[in-house]
Structure 1
Amino acid sequence: MAPMLEQSLFAVFLVGLLGGTHCVGMCGGIVAAISLQLPGQGTRFSYHFAYNAGRILSYAIAGAIAGAVGASTLLLKGFWPVQQGLYVVANLMLVALGLYLAGVWQAVTQIERLGVRLWRRLQPFSKRFLPVRRPAQAFALGALWGWLPCGLVYSVLISALASGSAYSGAATMLAFGLGTLPNLIAMGLFAQQLQVLTKNIWVRRMAGLLVAGFGAWGLARVALASL
């Protein structure tokens, strides 16, 4: 795996992990609703795992589609400015995400408006899987809820678009999804301890600066290549 891809995967994993407050705000109500309907405490982990597995699968599928669309420009001669432009946009989004994590700039949340129309068409299907009685229903509900409009998801999806292939796009979104996993699956297990970490202002600032640094380094590489 190329070093730059590894850096990008680590960056988006941090975005998912330390963007946990946003993720819990977006999906925490869904997880809580599922929890209230479940049988004994001993079986709850399998339901939450199934829900999150479905959600992350949808992220990976969206990333593969975005990566494939971005990669299609590689097949067209003379489209290097487009490829370079996508790379610049992807790194700008990393900078924006880093600033979001650091609590400096909240603009990425405005991107959620882009998916509202699609979600209005998908949301009614969720009624087919409620109330949740089997892990398979939780998985299907999670797969559907993976398309919920989310500024963080859409911002990382732009990075997937510029990743160069369907595989890299899927890997980018998978890394992000795995980053969100601890916050959501652990809500009823050790959420209090985890939230102490994710809400710590210095942890968020340092992680935000690290993510923004990855984006800034990518932009610097473009600038140096153009000299």
Structure 2
Amino acid sequence: MIEFSLLAALLAGLLGGVHCVGMCGGIVAAFSFRADGTHPPFRMHLAYNLGRVSSYVLFGALAGALGATFKLAGVMPVQLLLYVLAQVVMILLGLYLAGFNQWVRVFERAGGAVWRVVRPLFQKLLPVKSLPQAVLAGMAWGWLPCGLVYSVLVSALAAGSATSGAALMLAFGLGTLPNLLGMGLFARQIQPFMQRLWVRRAAGLMVAGFGVWGLLMLAYSTFANA
């Protein structure tokens, strides 16, 4: 099922752009203009996002390693529970993106304490003047308490190994690139489109569909092996 999980994570990142506009819009705006009002070159935006995705991969590796402890201990019911939990979280995430609930904000509030520690370090890196500084700023950006990121991390926890968890979060991070790079380069043109109700509903329901399909795959596998 790892191929399905990677695809789901990739598309969750891509379709989650409706959430990224609100969550990361201010940070992207800070990155999109220099002190003199000019736009930074494209390679700077790539560096920001390289740092951000690197943080996601680290989170995924740590979550996957934690999940692997259950695998090594042979705790099969817990592994199964983690998989089911990951699919349920994906469904709830999709409903959140579609505007039908606000449950993801629980994750965001929980991560707020960490961000309050990281934010002063992040602010010291502004304004960004070099590529290494941009990568560091992007890594700090990755610690933003984003419910979308934390939701996908549940799937990384269920991945069963540090490598699989890192790969899953890498897939998610790559999925977010078109939206966040696009926001950095064409923020004024993209934001109105991403905030349209039908766009939010379509993206959210597709993400929820991944969770439903994951549960159906589990049910079919269980039935077939019975």
TM-score, normalised relative to structure 2: 0.86
Rounded to whole Å, the distance in 2 between the matches of 1:83 and 1:214 is: 19
Rounded to whole Å, the distance in 2 between the matches of 1:218 and 1:83 is: 15
Q: Which 5+ residue runs of structure 2 have no aligned equivalent?
A: none
CA contact (8 A) 1:63 1:171 kept: yes
CA contact (8 A) 1:21 1:199 kept: yes
AA in 2 matched with 1:44: P
Q: 1:125 offset after TM fit, Å?
A: 1.6
CA-to-partner distance for each residue in 1:159-196, whole Å, 9 max, x for gaps? 11001111221121112212221222122534456456
Q: Partner residue of 1:160?
A: 156
CA-to-partner distance for each residue in 1:81-124, whole Å, 9 max, x for gaps? 11111111101011112212332223112211221222222222
Rounded to whole Å, the distance in 1 between the matches of 2:39 and 2:203 is: 35
Q: Partner residue of 1:95?
A: 91
Instruction: Say whether residues 1:110 and 2:72 are aligned partners.
Output: no
Rounded to whole Å, the distance in 2 between the matches of 1:126 and 1:26 is: 16
Q: Which 5+ residue runs of structure 1 have no aligned equivalent?
A: none
AA in 2 matched with 1:157: L
Instruction: Say whether residues 1:32 and 2:18 are aligned partners.
Output: no
- Equivalent residues, number: 223
Shift of the 29–208 alpha-carbon distance from structure 1 to 2, 3 Å rule, reads: closer
Q: Partner residue of 1:64?
A: 61
Residue 86 of structure 1, aligned match among 63, 68, 82: 82
Q: Partner residue of 1:189?
A: 185
Instruction: Say whether residues 1:121 and 2:117 are aligned partners.
Output: yes
Instruction: Tell which deviates more after alignment, 53-62 or 178-187.
Output: 178-187
Q: Identity rate of aligned residues, in percent?
A: 58
Q: 1:12 offset after TM fit, Å?
A: 2.2
Q: Partner residue of 1:15?
A: 12
Residue 219 of structure 1, aligned match among 215, 219, 223: 215
AA in 2 matched with 1:80: M
TM-score, normalised relative to structure 1: 0.86
